[in-house]
Structure 1
Amino acid sequence: MTLAPYASDPARSRGREFSIEDGLTRGARSPYQRDRDRIIHSIAFRRLRYKTQVFVAPDGDHYRVRLTHSLEVAQIARVIARILGLDEDLTEALALAHDIGHPPFGHAGEDALDAALHKAGGFDHNAHTLRTLMRIDSPYCEHDGLNLTWETLEGLAKHNGPVMQPNWALAELDGAYPLDLSSHASLEAQVASLADDIAYDNHDIDDGLRAGFLDIDELLAQPFVAGHWAEVERRYPDAPRDRQLAELIRSQIGVMVNDLVAQTKANLVGVESVDEVRAAGRTLVAFSPEMAEAERTFKRFMYDKLYYHPAQLETAKRARAVLAELYSAYAQEPVLMEEAWIDGLPRLEPGRSRHIADYVAGMTDRFAITCHAQIYGRTPEGLTNV
């Protein structure tokens, strides 16, 4: 496939933080293909199987977790990248890795670790994605981290836009391997970011209905949904309701993708290089103004009815308490951590506190629950609401 002039060309990659001897490369793959493969084979990626997406430690097999969400984002992102003539492998790598820095229990866990590190610079899941991939997950003999390309690391750091005030974790990494944080990221990173929105805007409907947190009549009355639902009922009047809802979600994803592609193509008129993308001063991958407003309105509905549902808030409160108690236990008695983490514990602050947070952040939901029960002699209750 021929890349568009504004795509990230793997032949022109800025390289990796640590040089690699030519004899050590395995297979005829581009730099971005190797990045994607390193991410897929990493421990951090595998752990996403047991990390919260919307619901904490869901009992049902059909609920999404961080891993399934990341795979869905990658599928949507790759389709968009192909239509726009972007590098699909870089786009896929960014989509697969974008949530690797999430601690157990999702944003509730992030809040707990941020509070625990309030004297040590706080905790941010996006910066922790970079920290995990560049320093913590280290399967190679020659260097720390996965040693991903500059373009993949830059995209993960800036997929939501320029970072003008990086927290301590991202600032440290940027100091060691500058990522040009003040500019916009590549189109591949911008695509991965909006593919994330498309995925959870729609797939969270499925999980919310399955859990009984969303009222079907309120959902179908939303302007973003109503028109699509009317068309589904017109085309498939006799289909079972569950199949109609599946068709609704597919339809909405398709409409959002088509809108994004059309608006982005218009925004890219006259753009002839990836350097122009980074210097554009604005995000070029975007929805139309009408779709952007509809998406924002629908997101407010989802926050009100699903993400801030009373049962969700109560579960999040309990999850924060579990992680806060875990962090406190390890801070007081580091010998409770695994041996390798004890051996690497810094003597001085803030490194000591940050190291303990790294350990906790790497846990899955179920491992955190197990560790809490082992330390405190009781299994935390109310940590699943579906």
Structure 2
Amino acid sequence: MDCAPYASDPATSRGREFPEDRGDVRGPRSAFQRDRDRVIHSISFRRLRHKTQVFVAPDGDHYRVRLTHSLECAQIGRTVARALRLDEDLTEALCLAHDIGHPPFGHAGEAALSAATEKQGGFDHNAQTLRTLMRLDSPYCSHDGLNLSWEVLEGLAKHNGPVTEPGWALAELDAAFPMDLAEFSSLESQVSALSDDIAYDNHDIDDGLRAGFLHLDDLLTLDFVADQWRAVEARFPNALRERQLRELVRGQIGLMVNDLIQNTRENLEGVDSIDDVRSAGMPLARFSLEMAEQERKLKAFMYDRLYYHPEQINTSERARDVVARLYAAYDQSPADLADGWREALPENQPERARYISDFIAGMTDRYAIQECARIYDKVPEGLRNV
């Protein structure tokens, strides 16, 4: 497919941090296709299958985890990118990689690491994504990291928009391979960020309903959801309730995707290059004002009814305790670190704290639970609420 003039072009990529011998390129792939494939084949991507999305270490096979969320995000991202004539491979790579820096137990684990390393600069999962891909996940003989293209790295760095005050991790990486942090990112990056929102806004509803933490009557207090539900009932009046609920979620995703495509197309009128995108002074890929307001209300509802549900808060507190105890154990007794990690533990701060954070951030939920049980001779309780 021919891409639009405002799309990112792999043929004019700003390159990679470490030069590569083009003689060993495997297959006829563009730079962005190779980036996507490197992410998919990485250890850090595989670990996402056992990392929290909403529910901590869920027993149920049907609940989403970071891996399935990332795949769903990528599907939405490719759909939008194709409609807008953007580079689908770059969009997909960004969607697949955007959550790689999450520690075990999601935001609960991040809060624990942030508190433990506050005096050493703290912990940020988005910066940790870059740190993991550029330094920690290193399968190649010639360089550290996956050596992804500049466009992937800058898109991940600006997942939440331009960065004017980067933390220590992102600042270090930017000094080594400048990513123009204060500028707006590519349209592919902007689309990947909104695809993330669309995916978790709606799929978290699906999981919340399945777990019994959310109830349809409460959801219907939102006009956006109520309109979709009435349409589902009118179209499928005799369908089972469970199927109607799945249709509700699908319908909302479709509505948000179509709104994003239409509004972005209108914003792109007169935009002739990627330089125009970066200098626009605002993101050009965005919802309409009406949809943005509906999405804001939906997010507020989800925080109130699901993310801050009493059972979720209780489980999150237990998860934070596990991560805090692991950090304390490794700091006080380096022998508890895994082989290959204990030998290189720095003596001085802040390197020591950041090194321990790297180790913990790479853990899955279940490995963190196992490690805590091994070190403290007691299996942590209350870490599964579904």
The answer, yes or no, to whether TM exceeds 0.5 is yes
Q: What is the identity, as a one-letter code, of the residue corresponding to 1:283?
A: P
The match for 1:53 is 53
**Could you report, residue by residue, the CA deviation over 1:229-255 in whole angstroms, capped at 9, with x for unpaired residues?**
001000100000011111111111111
Q: Which residue of 2 aligns with 1:240?
A: 240
TM-score (norm 2): 0.99
1:76 equivalent to 2:69? Answer no
- Taking the TM superposition and a 5 Å limit, the aligned residue runs for 1:279-298 are 279-298=279-298
Distance in 2 of aligned mates of 1:4 and 1:368? 45
Counterpart residue number, 2:195: 195
Aligned to 2:220: 220
Q: Structure 1: how far apart are the matches of 2:62 and 2:259?
A: 29
Aligned mates of 1:344, 1:162 — CA distance in 2: 34
After superposition, the C-alpha distances for 1:115-168 in whole angstroms (9 at most, x for unaligned) are: 010111000000000000000000000000000000000000012110000000
Question: Which residue number in structure 1 is paired with residue 93 of structure 2?
Answer: 93
- Give the deviation of 1:347 after TM superposition: 2.4
**In structure 2, what is the equivalent of residue 106 of structure 1?**
106
Where does structure 1 differ by over 3 angstroms across 4 or more consecutive aligned residues? Answer: none
Partner Cα distance (1:275, 1:376) in 2: 55
Distance 2:277 2:286 in 1: 13
Gapped regions of structure 2 (runs ≥ 5): none
CA distance in 2, matches of 1:173, 1:245: 44
Q: Secondary structure at the match of 1:339?
A: coil
* Separation in structure 2 between the aligned mates of residue 29 and residue 213 of structure 1, nearest angstrom: 45
- The amino acid that maps onto 2:24 is L
Task: Write out aligned runs for 1:259-274 (5 A).
Answer: 259-274=259-274
1:162 is matched with: 162
2:161 partner letter: G
How many residue pairs get aligned? The number is: 386
For 2:240 and 2:319, locate their aligned partners in 1 and report how far apart those are by CA, in whole Å. Answer: 37
Q: 1:20 Cα deviation (Å)?
A: 0.4
Query: What code does the residue aligned with 2:316 have?
Result: A
How far, CA to CA, are the matches of 1:303 and 1:161 in structure 2?
22
What residue is the counterpart of 2:136 in the other structure? 136
How far apart are 1:275 and its partner, in Å?
Answer: 1.3
State the alpha-carbon separation in 1 of the partners of residues 207 and 339 from structure 2.
38
SS at match of 1:238: coil
Shift of 1:221: 2.9
1:148-187 → structure 2 map (5 Å cutoff): 148-187=148-187
Cα displacement (A) at 1:222:
1.6
Mapped to 1, the partners of 2:47 and 2:291 lie a distance apart of 34
Counterpart of 1:206 in structure 2 is: 206
d(CA) in 2 for partners of 1:297 and 1:182?
29
Within 5 A, what are the aligned runs for 1:249-328?
249-328=249-328
Q: How large is the RMSD of aligned CA atoms in angstroms? A: 0.6
Rounded Cα–Cα distance in structure 1 between residues aligned with 2:250 and 2:53: 20
Give the drift of 1:72. Answer: 0.2
- Partners of 2:210 and 2:382 lie apart in 1 by 19
1:119 partner SS = helix
Separation (CA, whole Å) in 2 of partners of 1:45 and 1:59: 21
Q: State the distance in 1 between where 2:346 and 2:86 align.
A: 43
Task: Report the 3-state secondary structure (helix = DSSP H, G, I; strand = E; otherwise coil) of the residue aligned with 2:341.
Answer: helix
User: How big is each residue's C-alpha offset from its partner over 1:204-246, in whole Å with a ceiling of 9 and x where there is no partner?
Assistant: 1110011110022111232120001001000100000011111
Return the letter of the residue paired with 1:112: A
CA distance in 2, matches of 1:196, 1:343: 38
Question: What residue number does 1:364 align with?
Answer: 364
CA positional deviation for 1:344: 2.2
Q: Which whole-Å CA distance do the structure 2 matches of 1:176 and 1:133 have between them? A: 14
Q: What amino acid does structure 1 have at the position aligned with 2:225?
A: V
Q: Secondary structure at the match of 1:348?
A: coil
In 2, Cα distance between equivalents of 1:343 and 1:223: 57
Please give the alpha-carbon distance, in whole angstroms, between the structure 2 residues aligned to 1:216 and 1:254.
19
Deviations 1:63-89 (A, max 9, x none): 000000000000000000000000000
Aligned counterpart, 1:30: 30
Residue identity in the other structure for 1:83 = A
Question: Any idea what the Cα deviations from partners look like across 1:287-317, whole Å, max 9, x if unmatched?
Answer: 0000000110111111100000000000000
Does 2:131 align with 1:126?
no
Structure 1 residues 79-105: Cα deviation after superposition (integer angstroms, max 9, x where no partner): 000000000000000000000000000
How many angstroms apart in 2 are the aligned matches of 1:220 and 1:350? 49
